[in-house]
Structure 1
């Protein structure tokens, strides 16, 4: 029997201890060294797909097809549902495209995302990912459609039915063949293009990096790097039993690491801290391995 290499074994053990099935790809943006755990399997992107939408938005702006300062009037009714941002607000608003993008990325606002998607177009998002060589990454539908699929498949029991594993098993939104999808390896390739200024112009890539650095959630990827001088920029994604995040970890010695971690739990509980934290744990194992490969020192252990 062939033994699993030590880093992969550690990642597998971390996922198992947290009670999740996991997929991971990590890439050193400067040396090209990489580490993967089932990185070429299709995964459900959920709100992670807001990043390809953001890249497409900036691509359109660079081409002169739209102006990021363009103002959008947002009615109080008919917005895509969600717990944050405009999706949770009750009054009319007027925001620029770039401020909608901020809400979409910082608090994963579904309403802002679908307003931008209506302006950019689903086909444009898919042309952008194809242009970047992401042949297995596809935006299948809007976030409103995704949430409607969950409600329809849950049936008359509504949100409470999502505690039933039999209901979870029939959710089309959890099937990569029927929803927005990608692979961990393709998503680190997207991150590399953004950080290396090849996803668009240098100006627009810098704007995308800025928005990713403003994400407010510290409990997944960032939890693995609790150091003042290590910078994490990312985008989460969540659906029943799914917890994902992709992002870039930057060390003060200029080390830069693109990470994509996707997980799925057997348990249907909405709050599972261990399932969130393992994203940071697995990412840390991967980054420490890549840093050792590149002869960079690992970050010190946090003080207790």
Structure 2
């Protein structure tokens, strides 16, 4: 196994990536990973615990999923964001539908409407109540829309990525607040696998809440990253992506037709100053799949 991990580290390094990876068999508890406890800003991955927290409040009667929320136009014109974030006119959307938009298409405006109902501190407190200490929510998603990437012309976007790559400190502080783990929503591969395990197996999270989160993650339409290596006619892949400057993440669960269920977390940081890196996405998927294959073969 040590030779495998060393080879995968080398492949990641050759591709300009460093990552926190973990794959766990949810039936046996066996796992394999690469730096699984390395904490990183989690970007849109925070939408998964937010969804669970919102659904638990609906279960308790504190919120009603049918309640209509007035949404103002997002006003975003930069490439990337979608959904309500790009709307030009006001809309009214039910809480249940905001949850779908937040997870299925990673809609930032829908997510922040949910954060107004259940603030970040409450989401973090609920995670702690569920026995999940490794993930912290610290800011709404709208703050992810206010990075150097939004201040450069499209032809100069590499400059924002260079700043992201070169401005980190040895202690994981950063000149860009959204990349500073003491100020940004954060978590490790192990922390997210623990959350996935709590959603896919009996845990302190209510069973109806967990089932709805699983359903939402199964509706994820952002499928360019790990999906090609995990979805097939003989497996079901449910996941959530997270992207911010030079960070590319995805966490999910693959349910095989033979009954084996594996939780997968792949959190990566690139040192290549480019916004579009299909090679990096293919590489992180290949590394995650190789870890899964090794676990499955064992």
TM-score (norm 2): 0.89
The residue aligned with 1:50 is 47
Contact 2:158 2:274 in 1 (8 A): yes
The residue aligned with 1:298 is none
Structure 1 residues 21, 158: CA separation in 2 closer, same or farther (over 3 Å shift)? same
Contact 2:76 2:86 in 1 (8 A): no
The residue aligned with 1:126 is 124
Q: Distance in 2 between matches of 1:133 and 1:159?
A: 43
1:276 aligns with 2:246: no
Matches within 5 A, 1:258-297: 258-293=263-298
How many aligned residue pairs are there? Answer: 287
Deviation at 1:162, TM superposition (A): 4.2
Q: Distance in 2 between matches of 1:14 and 1:214?
A: 31
Segments of structure 2 that go 5 or more residues without pairing to the other structure are 168-174
Matches within 5 A, 1:1-304: 5-76=2-73, 83-148=81-146, 150-151=147-148, 157=152, 162-164=157-159, 166-168=162-164, 169=167, 170-293=175-298
* CA RMSD in angstroms, aligned pairs only: 2.1
Segments of structure 1 that go 5 or more residues without pairing to the other structure are 294-304
Q: Distance in 2 between matches of 1:155 and 1:230?
A: 38
Q: Distance in 1 between matches of 2:35 and 2:187?
A: 13
The residue aligned with 2:171 is none
Contact 1:241 1:264 in 2 (8 A): yes
Structure 1 residues 134, 65: CA separation in 2 closer, same or farther (over 3 Å shift)? same
Q: Distance in 2 between matches of 1:158 and 1:179?
A: 25
- My pick for the range that moved more, 171-180 or 208-217, is 171-180
